[in-house]
């Protein structure tokens, strides 16, 4: 929020903070450009007149960034011509003073939706690049058979149900279906059904109208409508409550959704793909899942094998993960030794592909040289006890508690640095639950210092 009037900054900071946004305020062009150079923002809201400067300077600084935020310009009534000029230079839109707070909130929401779609399109283009589909491809006969079926059904609107243990890459296969279809230029929108309560899930999928519940300050499209002609992945479909199962069944039958609080049904064009790690046939017999919904979902079924059943794919996947990390960290000499690859291929991988990825991130993060040998892998992978059993020398004045605290702090900071401060990924990298990771950060006084707005 850029404005040279403190009262205006205060009012808008309160308005958007209450709406759930993290707000940074600047009172001049200089302060704004300094802030833009230090933090990645999603949106800039700037007044056109800024004392000795202009909102146009803020706009140009924002649009020159590698990942430019959307920019909304506030202008006095009667000077809309300058705002139109700002739009020619890349501003999302403008709003004239005096403005209605609700009007401004809606404009901000639309601008952020545009940014989200742009990020989605960029992600799709990246996945369409050569080699980007490597994670969904393997040399094992079972993976080749699955990808062959993906090729056959990708162009259809047929609903697909993907089975597989946690971490086997169900979402990657769903993305492969999307990218190999005529829908590839449209959004791919996954939703984790297990992570949302029934009411939130209904609103997320079907949308809601203004006033339908506390906090519904405007109409909102659900994912099924917002995806357009794209694809919506219903991940962890086996966790959906019975009442929601009834609504999903009707949606699949009618190809229409009814937003929460509305009496009107809205047709949608998106393709539905579902994924689960549960045996839905057993869930049906136990009375926890509707049989008629299962029939609607499993028109085509894809069963992903666990990584332990396709060991020949492990070196291929490991090399792919490492190649991505080499590019990210700028260490072109990194490579696995043959001994390390043998260790990786011989492990059972209970966490499947996701665990493999985390182990390789850990090896890269903690390695000092270019060669990633068996010693860079956890002791459990090598079949060794996690705690050394040899003689240990204890120097005079040694404090075990201080040593353990210092070691823990170093590993926490290393993991956060490796994951750009994303705490959920850092927790996975260290093999910790998110709750345990947060506890350890707090213990070392790192929570406030490293607080990441992308995490709850």
Task: Sort 408 into a burial class: Cβ within 10 Å, 0-12 / 13-18 / 19+.
Answer: middle
pTM higher than the cut 0.85? no
pLDDT at residue number 451: 46
pLDDT at residue number 450: 42
Nearest alpha carbon to residue 137 among 167, 169, 107: 169
Query: According to the model, what pLDDT value does residue 134 have?
Result: 45
Q: According to the model, what pLDDT value does residue 297 have?
A: 93
The reported pLDDT for the residue numbered 131 is 42
Architecture of domain 6-126: 3-Layer(aba) Sandwich (3.40)
Reference 439, options 431, 447, 448; nearest CA is 447
| Residue 161 Cα distances to 8, 183, 265, 320, angstroms | 52, 18, 25, 27
Cβ neighbors of 435 (< 8 A, separation 6 or more) are none
pLDDT of amino acid 303: 94
Phi and psi torsions of 202, nearest 5°: -60, -45
Same topology, domains 6-126 and 141-305? Answer is: yes
Structure tokens, 95:
């709003």
Question: From 3.40.50.300, 2.40.50.140, 2.60.320.10, 3.40.50.10790, which CATH number describes the 141-305 domain?
Answer: 3.40.50.300
Q: In the chain, how long is the greatest CA-to-CA distance?
A: 82
Give me the residue label for tokens 């960029």.
Answer: 122
| Residue 235: CB atoms within 10 Å | 20
Domain spanning 400-444 has what CATH number? Answer: 1.10.10.60
Q: Compute the chain's Rg from CA coordinates.
A: 26
Check residue 389 and give its pLDDT: 47
Residues 6+ apart with CB under 8 A from 55: 2, 46, 47, 48, 49, 73, 74, 75, 86
Which H or E element spans position 405?
helix 400-418
| Residues 387/404, Cβ–Cβ less than 8 Å | no
CB 72 within 8 Å of CB 44? yes
Residue 372, φ and ψ in degrees, nearest 5: -95, 95
Strands 49-50 and 53-54: antiparallel
β-pair type (93-97, 70-76): parallel
Extract the tokens encoding 456: 């709850």
8 Å CB contact between 242 and 290 = yes
Please, what are the averages of pLDDT over each run of 10 residues along the chain (456 residues)? 91 88 91 87 91 88 87 75 77 85 88 75 51 56 89 91 91 90 89 86 87 77 88 93 93 90 87 94 94 93 92 87 84 89 89 90 85 87 59 65 80 83 82 80 69 41
* CA–CA distance, 281 with 283 (Å, rounded to integer): 5
Per-residue confidence (pLDDT) for residue 291, from 0 to 100: 95
Tell me which fold the domain 308-381 belongs to. Helicase, Ruva Protein; domain 3 (1.10.8)
Q: What confidence score (pLDDT) does residue 122 get?
A: 59
First to last CA, the chain: 23
Calpha distance 26→30 (Å, rounded): 8
Domain range summary for the chain, segments of one domain joined by +: 6-126, 141-305, 308-381, 400-444
* 352: enclosing H helix or E strand: helix 352-366
């Amino acid at each position: 929020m850029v404005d040279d009037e403190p009262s205006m900054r205060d009012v808008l900071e309160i308005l958007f903070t209450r709406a759930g946004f993290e707000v940074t305020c600047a009172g001049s062009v200089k302060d704004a450009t300094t802030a833009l150079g230090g933090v990645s923002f999603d949106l800039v809201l700037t007044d056109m007149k800024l004392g000795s400067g202009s909102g146009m300077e803020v706009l140009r600084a924002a649009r020159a960034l590698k990942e430019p935020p959307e920019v909304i310009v506030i202008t006095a009534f009667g000077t809309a011509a300058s705002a139109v000029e700002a739009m020619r230079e890349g501003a999302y839109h403008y709003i004239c003073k005096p403005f209605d707070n609700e009007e401004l909130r809606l404009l901000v929401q639309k601008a952020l939706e545009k940014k989200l779609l742009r990020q989605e399109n960029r992600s799709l283009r990246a996945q369409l690049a050569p080699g980007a589909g490597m994670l969904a491809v393997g040399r094992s006969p079972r993976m080749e058979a699955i990808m062959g079926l993906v090729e056959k059904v990708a162009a259809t609107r047929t609903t697909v149900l993907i089975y597989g243990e946690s971490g086997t890459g169900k979402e990657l296969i769903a993305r492969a279906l999307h990218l190999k279809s005529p829908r590839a230029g449209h959004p791919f929108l996954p939703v984790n059904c297990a992570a949302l309560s029934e009411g939130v899930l209904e609103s997320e999928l079907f949308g809601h109208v203004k006033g339908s519940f506390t906090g519904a300050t405007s109409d909102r499209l659900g994912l099924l409508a917002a995806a357009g002609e794209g694809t919506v992945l219903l991940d962890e479909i086996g966790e959906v409550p019975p009442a929601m199962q009834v609504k999903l069944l009707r949606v699949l039958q009618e190809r229409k959704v009814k937003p929460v609080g509305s009496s009107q049904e809205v047709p949608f064009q998106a393709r539905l793909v579902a994924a689960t790690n549960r045996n839905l046939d057993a869930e049906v017999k136990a009375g926890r899942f509707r049989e008629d919904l299962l029939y609607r979902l499993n028109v085509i079924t894809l069963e992903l094998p666990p990584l332990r059943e396709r060991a020949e794919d492990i070196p291929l996947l490991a090399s792919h993960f490492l190649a991505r990390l080499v590019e990210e960290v700028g260490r072109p000499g990194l490579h696995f030794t043959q001994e390390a690859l043998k260790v990786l291929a011989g492990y059972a991988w209970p966490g499947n592909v996701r665990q493999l990825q985390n182990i390789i991130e850990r090896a890269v993060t903690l390695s000092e040289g270019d060669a990633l040998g068996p010693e860079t892998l956890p002791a459990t992978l090598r079949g060794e006890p996690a705690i050394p059993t040899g003689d240990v020398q204890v120097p005079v004045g040694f404090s075990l508690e201080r040593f353990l605290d210092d070691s823990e702090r170093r590993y926490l900071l290393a993991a956060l640095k490796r994951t750009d401060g994303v705490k959920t990924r850092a927790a996975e990298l260290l093999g910790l639950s998110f709750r345990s990771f947060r506890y350890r950060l707090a213990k070392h006084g790192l929570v406030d210092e490293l607080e990441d707005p992308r995490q709850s």
